A and B are shown apart, each in its own frame.
Chain A
Amino acid sequence: MVVLIGMNTSCKDYLDVVPDNIATIDNAFSNRYEARNYMHGIYSFMPGRSDASTNPAFLGGDELWIHDPISTGFNPRLWYLSRGDQGTDQPIANFWSSNADNQWQLAGGRPLFTGIRDANIFLENINKPFDITKTERDQWIAEVKFLKAYYHFWLLRMYGPVPIIDNNLGISATTEEVQRFREPVDEVVAYIVKPLMRHWQICRFILKMKLLILVVLQKLSLCQ
C-alpha cells in the first residue's frame, strides 16, 4: 500500500508531459519584430475598397450586369446581390463576422470583429516588448486605435447601430455577457470620432491614414 502511494505521488509528474515553452499569445509580443508583425496582421482586415469582389459598391448596385455563365477574371459573387440572392442564412458581403465563421462563407466580406478583437489584444499587450522606443510605441498605438475606429466605422456604415467593442471579453464569459447590445448611432459615431481626433497629430503623417480619417469625418458629419 505504501509502495503504491509512493509510486502515485512521484507518478503525478508522469502525466505532466507538456514542456514549458509552447507558443502562447505572449510570444507575439516578446519583442519589437513580433509585435510589428502582429500589427501588420491587424491591417490585413482592411476591406478592399477598390476590389469589385469585396466592395459591394461596384456590383451590388444594379448598375452593372454580367452575362451568365460568368467567365470574368474576378469573383462575381457580389453581383448575386442584384439577382436577389441575399438571405439571412449565408449573407453575401458578410462583414458582421469573425474569423471563426469560415472565410469562404463570407462571400466578399471580411471578419471585422476579429480585427477589432486583435486590435484590443494589441493595445493590452503593447507594453510588453522591451525594445520599442516610446515614440514608436505611441505611433503604433495611434495606428491601431485608428484601425479599431475604422473597422467600427465600416460596420456602422453597413449595419447602422453596432455593438461597441471597447474591451475584449474572456473566453469563459457567460452566454448573457457575450450577447452585447447594439449601441445607438449617436454613441457609435462619438466613439469613432474620439480616437481620430486624439491621434490626428500622429496619424496625419501617414498619408493613407490621413486621407481615410478625412473621409471618415466627412461621411460622419454628413450623416449626423
Chain B
Amino acid sequence: MRKLAPNRKLKNPVEIIIQGITITGRVTAVEDNSGLPGVNVVVKGTTVGTVTDVNGNYSLSVPSTESVLVFSSVGYIKEEIVVANRSVIDMGMVLDITALDELVVVAFGQQEKESVISAIESVNTKELRVPSSNLTTALAGRIAGLIAYQTSGEPGHDNAEFFIRGVTSFGTGKVDPLILIDNVEVTTTDLSRMHPDDIQSFSILKDATATALYGARGANGVILITTKEGVEGKARISFRFENSFSTPTKELQMADPITYMRMANEAARTRDPLANIPYTNKKIDETIAGTNQYVYPAVDWQEEMFKNMAANQRANMNISGGGKVARYYIAGSMSQDNGILKVDDRNNYNSNVNLKRFTLRSNININLTESTEAIVRMHGAFDDYNGPIPGGTSMYKSTLQVSPVRFPSVFTPDSTYQFANHTLFGGDAGGNFMNPYAEMVKGYRQESKTVMLSQLEFKQDFGKWLPGLTGRLLGNTTRNSSFDLTRAYSPYYYGVMSYEKQSDEYKLLQLNPESGSEHLSYEPGYKRMSSSFYGEASLAYNQIFGVHSTSGMLVFIGRNRLDSNAENLSESLPKRNLGFSGRVTYGYDLRYFGEFNFGYNGSEKFDKGHRWGFFPSVGVGWVISNEAFWQSISQYVSNFKIRGTYGLVGNDEIGDERFFYLSRVNVRSAGGYNFGYNFDGSSGRGTSISHYANPLIGWETAYKTNLGVELGLFENSVNILADFFDETRKNILQTRADIPSSMGLWSIPQANVGEANSRGLDVSVDYTYSSSQGTWVVARGNFTYAKGVFKEYEEPDFSDVPWRSRIDMPITQEWGYVAQRLFIDQADVDNSPRQDFGDYMSGDIKYKDINGDNIIDEFDKVPIGYPKVPEINYGFGVSVGWKNFDVSCFFQGSARVSFWIDSYNMSPFRIYKPEGQDYVLETGLAKFIADNYWSEASENPQAGWPRLSNYAVSNNNQKSTWWMKNGSFLRLKTAEVGYALPDMVCEKILLSSCRIYLSGSNLLVFSKFHEWDVEMGGNGLNYPLQRVFNLGVNLTF
C-alpha cells in the first residue's frame, strides 16, 4: 500500500486506502516470561487480526496509530493497548485464575464452569508449589473446605493429615478423602510424590452431586487430579532445579545438666525424705568444675546427635510436544532429602536420614483415526530410603530418654583400649541404659518402595452416528512393592572403672564383651506387595439445542485389589468393587441449570442382601447475572450465581473387619483344662469366637446438603465463593454398648447404629489486578469452618451424668478432669474429695468433683477443650509483580484446636524398662519443666509442673485441663521473590525463558505455645517440622 503523502490531493475522496502500520512484538506470560503461542491479537472493532506463533511472536498491519490492539487468550486476562507511535509492542499476559478452568474437571468428565452447580474447588497448580518434596504439606489453608495439619518433618514420614470439610464419621475405617490421579485410586503417599509441574488440574469435590458418582468411597470428599497431556507443536522442554536448606522450626529445650542433678536430688527427697539422693555433692561439684568430661559427663544429647541444617535438592524436567498423529508429555523428577542427624566418622556407612525419590511419567496421546484417540499413561515412582534403625522420630524421642550426666556418648580410649577397632560407646555398669547415640550410629536401615502404574485409554467420538456422543474405555493396573532391611553391629559399651584425679587418667571397664560385635549383622525386614486393577467404561452425550443444553453420562467401573502379607484367610481374599453411575444435566439459556446424578455400587465386604447401595443426588443452579434484568449492574457485579444440591454418598471402608456377615471362630485356641493325677491326663482347649456373624451390616451413608453463592465483582477482578454445607452420616459402624454381661458373649458385636452430623462454611475470595505496564497483583484468601458432632452413639444411660454423653459433642472431642490447682498443703489434701488414682500429696494436681459425690473418678470426666482436629483452617496470600520481578507470600492458620502435653513420657528422672526392649530408659529434664515447677521452697499452687518425683505419679498423668494447650496458630507458610530474565538475554543463551527465585517455607509462626512447633500438637518429640530456605531456577527451551 502506498503511504499517503501529505498535501497530495486524493483522486477519489471516498476510497481512502490507508497504508497499514506493521506492528510486531512478542506476547509472554508474566510469571516466567515464556512465549505464549495461540494468542489472538486483533484490532479492536475490526476483523483485522492474527495469532501469535509458537514463540509468542506476531506481526500485524494496523490501520492507524489510534488503533487499539486487543490481546486475548483462553485463561488469560484480556489486554488492550493503543498503538500510538510504536512499531514494536510486547505484551505480558496475566493468568486469569477464575477463567483458567472454563472447563472444570468433574467426576468422570468435564463441565463448563458456568453450568457447574456442585461444590467443586479448582486449585491453580502454581499455588501448590512449595519448596518441599511432599505435596501434601502445601494443602493447608490454600483450599476452602480442606482442613490439614502436619505433625512431623521427617523425610518420608511427613505426610500431612487432611480432611475435606472436617471429620464427619467416627467409624474406625476411612475418614480421609478419596484421592484419584487420572481416575485411579491412590494413597496419600502417591499424592505426596506428585510434582505440581505435572498437574493439569487439581480439584476437590466436596458435596453430594460431585461425589455421588464415586459412591463406594466418596462420602469423605474426593481429590481429583489429572496429569498433563502433550500439546501440539515443537518440543517444549522445561527444567526446574531447586536447592534448599532446612532447619527445625523449633526444638524442645533441655535443662542444663547441673540443674538436672539438683532437681533429681530434690525429686528423690521430696516424696520420701529418707530416700537416697542419686547424685552426691562430689559429683555435682566435679561436673560444675568440668574436671573430666568423660568421668563427670555433662552431655547435651541434642548437640551430640543433631545437626543444625540439612541440604535438599530437587530437579524436575518435562518435555511436551507432538504433531497431528501423536502428542507426548514426558516428565521425570528426582529429589533428595537429608535429615539432620549426625554421622559417626568411624563408620563407613551413613546412618543419617536420606531419601531419594525418582519418578518418571509418560503420557502419550495417539490419534488412531479422525474420531478415535488412544492414550497410554505410564508412571513409575521409586523411593530409596536410608536411615537410622529406629527411625528419625525415635531418635528425637530418645534424647529425652537418657540422663545427661550418667555417661558420655563416646569415650576416648584409655591405655588399655587404645588399639580397639571400634567406637567406645558410653554405658553404665549399674544397668543396661540406652545410649541414643549408639542406637543411631550402630547401623542403618534401607527401605525401597516402588509404584508402577500403567494405563490405557481409548476415546471414541461417535459424532458420525449421533452428534455429541462419545465413549471411553480405560484400563489401569497398579503394582506396589516395598521392602526393608537393616544392617547393624552390636555396640560395645564401656563404663569408668577408676579415675586418677592427679594425672587425669581414667580406666575403662568393658561392659558387654560377650554381646558386642565389630562386624555387621543383617536382619531382613518386611516385604510387602499389592496389585490392583481398575477398569472403566463410559458413554457420554453432550448437545446444545438452541437455548437448551443437555448432557448425559453413564459409567461402569470395576476394581480389584490384592495384598500380600495377609494375616488370616479373610484378609487374603481380594477386595472388589463394582459400580454403575450416571449423570444427567440440563441448562436453559445459560441461566437455569439442573442436574441429577446417581451411583449404584457394590462391595464384596457386605452380605448379599446389603451388597449394593444406591446413591442419588440432585442439584439446581441459577446464574442471576445472565438474566436480562441484571445487565444494568453487570459492570459492577459481573457474575452472580446461586446453587443448591442434596444427595447421598456411600462409604464401604467402615472398619478393619473384612466380612461382617461371617463369624470368625477359632477352634482349639481358647482357654483349656487338663485332667489327670498330675494334670497330665487328657487335655484340650476350647473354642473362642473373635467375631459374631452379622449379615445386616451395610454401607455407611452420607446425606449431604450444600448451598453455594458465587459472586464476581468489577469484571471478575474480585471473586467470592461461599458454600454452606450440612451433612448427616448414618449407619456408622460402632461397637454395641448395651450388651449386658449376662449374654456371655466372647466379643462385642458391631452394628451400623452410629450417626454423626457435620456442618460448616467454606469461603474463598480472590482479587486480580493487572495493568498494561506489566504490573499485576493477585491476592487470595480462604476460610473453612467445619464442626462434626455425634448424633447417635451407643453408650450406657448417662442421664445422671449427662456430661459423659457423647451426643452433640464434636467427634474428636476429648474427655478429662477439670484441674483446679495444685494442693497447697496436707490439710488441703485431707479436706478435698478423695482422688482415686494412687498416692498423692500436697503439690499434686487437685481435680474438681463435678457430681458432688466426694470421690474423683470416671463420673467426673467432662468434655474439655476444643477438638483434636482443628475446626477452622484459613489462609491468605498476595503475589505482586512488576517488570520482571515478582514477590509473593502466603499465611496459613488454624484455630479451635487443643492438644495435650504427654506428661507421662515427659515426667523426668524416671528409670524404667519399656515393654519388649532389653535396655533401660531414664527420662531427661525439659527446660520448661525446670523453669516452672512446684517445690517445697516456693509452694506455688499455680506452678506449671506439680511436685517432682522419680516415678510416674498416676494422679498427675490423668487427662485433664492441666495439660491442655491451645493449638491455634498463624504461620507465614511461604514467601517467594523471583526474577525472570529479560527476553533478549534469554535469546542469547538459547532459552525461551528463565526465572530465578528465592523462596522459604514455614518462616514464622505466631502462637501461644512456645515449647515446640504447635502444629505438631501433643507429639512434641516428633521429628520437628522444617523451616526451609530455597533457591531455584526454572528454564524452558
Contact = CB atoms under 8 A, between A and B. Distances in A.
Interface stretch (A56-64, A113-121, A185-193): A113-121
Interface string B681-710: 011111111001110100000000000000
A34 B673 contact: no
Contacts of A74: none
Contacts of A99: 688, 744-747
A36 B684 contact: yes
Given A40-B672, A169-B743, A100 B748 contact: yes
A111 interface: yes
A6 B782 CA distance: 48
A46 B663 CA distance: 26
Contacts of B745: 98-100, 114, 117
Contacts of A100: 739, 741, 745-748
Interface stretch (B168-176, B382-390, B407-415, B567-575): B567-575
Interface in A26-65: 27-28, 34, 36-46
A28 B687 contact: yes
A179 interface: yes
A40 B673 contact: yes
Contacts of A169: 743
Contacts of A115: 744
A178 B743 contact: yes
B283 interface: no
A19 B574 CA distance: 11
Given A15-B603, A114-B746, A98 B741 contact: yes
Interface string B749-763: 100000000000000
A222 interface: no
A101 B664 CA distance: 18
Contacts of A98: 741-746
Nearest to A30: B667
A16 B578 CA distance: 11
B747 A178 contact: no
Interface in A2-40: 4, 7-8, 11-12, 14-19, 22-25, 27-28, 34, 36-40
B666 interface: yes
B686 A42 contact: yes
A24 B742 contact: no
Contacts of A178: 738-740, 742-743
A25 B558 CA distance: 34
B548 interface: no
B882 interface: no
B603 A23 contact: no
A7 B558 CA distance: 11
B426 interface: no
Contacts of B537: 4
B684 A97 contact: no
A168 B604 CA distance: 31
A157 interface: no
Contacts of A172: 694, 696
A165 B685 CA distance: 23
B320 to A, nearest CB: 36
Contact of B693 (A7, A37, A111, A171): A171
Given A14-B578, A17-B574, A99-B745, A41 B670 contact: yes
Contacts of B580: 4, 8
A37 B673 CA distance: 9
A25 B663 contact: yes
A44 B747 contact: no
B665 interface: yes
A14 B558 contact: yes
A87 interface: yes
A89 interface: yes
A41 B775 CA distance: 83
Nearest to A7: B556
Contact of B662 (A7, A18, A89, A114): A18
Nearest to B575: A17
A77 to B, nearest CB: 15
Contacts of B670: 41, 44
Nearest to A206: B675
A15 B574 contact: no
A10 to B, nearest CB: 11
A169 B739 CA distance: 11
B569 A22 contact: yes
A163 interface: yes
Contacts of A27: 665, 667
A118 B686 contact: yes
A40 B682 CA distance: 9
B355 to A, nearest CB: 36
Contacts of B836: 87
Given A115-B744, A117-B744, A165-B744, A18 B659 contact: yes
Interface in B392-441: none
A40 B686 contact: yes
Nearest to A3: B537
A39 B682 CA distance: 12
Contacts of A41: 670-673, 684-688
Contacts of B665: 23-25, 27-28
B1008 interface: no
B858 A97 contact: no
A46 B673 contact: yes
Given A38-B686, A46-B673, A179 B576 contact: no
A33 to B, nearest CB: 8
A83 B603 CA distance: 55
B1000 interface: no
Contact of B663 (A19, A24, A37, A40): A24
A8 B558 CA distance: 10
B857 interface: yes
A120 to B, nearest CB: 8
Interface string B715-756: 000000000000000000000001111111111110000000
A87 B682 CA distance: 40
A34 B576 CA distance: 35
Interface in B804-822: none
B730 to A, nearest CB: 19
Contact of A22 (B570, B574, B578): B570
Given A25-B687, A28-B687, A15 B602 contact: yes
B611 interface: yes
Contacts of B663: 24-25
A180 interface: yes
B234 interface: no
Given A8-B580, A17-B574, A37 B687 contact: yes
Given A25-B689, A118-B686, A165-B742, A44 B672 contact: yes
A200 interface: no
A23 B666 contact: yes
B738 to A, nearest CB: 6
Interface string B651-671: 000000001001111111011
B891 to A, nearest CB: 47
B67 to A, nearest CB: 57
Q: Which of A46, A87, A114 is packed against the most chain B CB atoms within 10 Å? A: A114
A25 to B, nearest CB: 5
Contacts of A87: 836, 857
A5 B603 CA distance: 18
Given A40-B686, A89-B857, 5 more contacts: A25-B665, A118-B686, A172-B694, A178-B743, A179-B740
- Sorted nearest first, the 4 A-B pairs with minimum C-beta distance are A41-B686, A117-B744, A40-B684, A44-B671
29 contacts: A7-B556, A11-B578, A12-B602, A15-B576, A15-B577, A15-B578, A15-B611, A18-B573, A24-B665, A25-B687, A36-B682, A38-B667, A40-B673, A41-B672, A41-B688, A43-B673, A44-B671, A89-B858, A100-B746, A100-B748, A114-B744, A114-B746, A117-B743, A168-B744, A169-B743, A171-B692, A171-B693, A178-B738, A178-B739
Interface of B: 537, 554, 556, 558, 569-570, 573-574, 576-578, 580, 602-604, 608, 611, 659, 662-668, 670-673, 682-689, 692-694, 696, 738-749, 836, 857-858
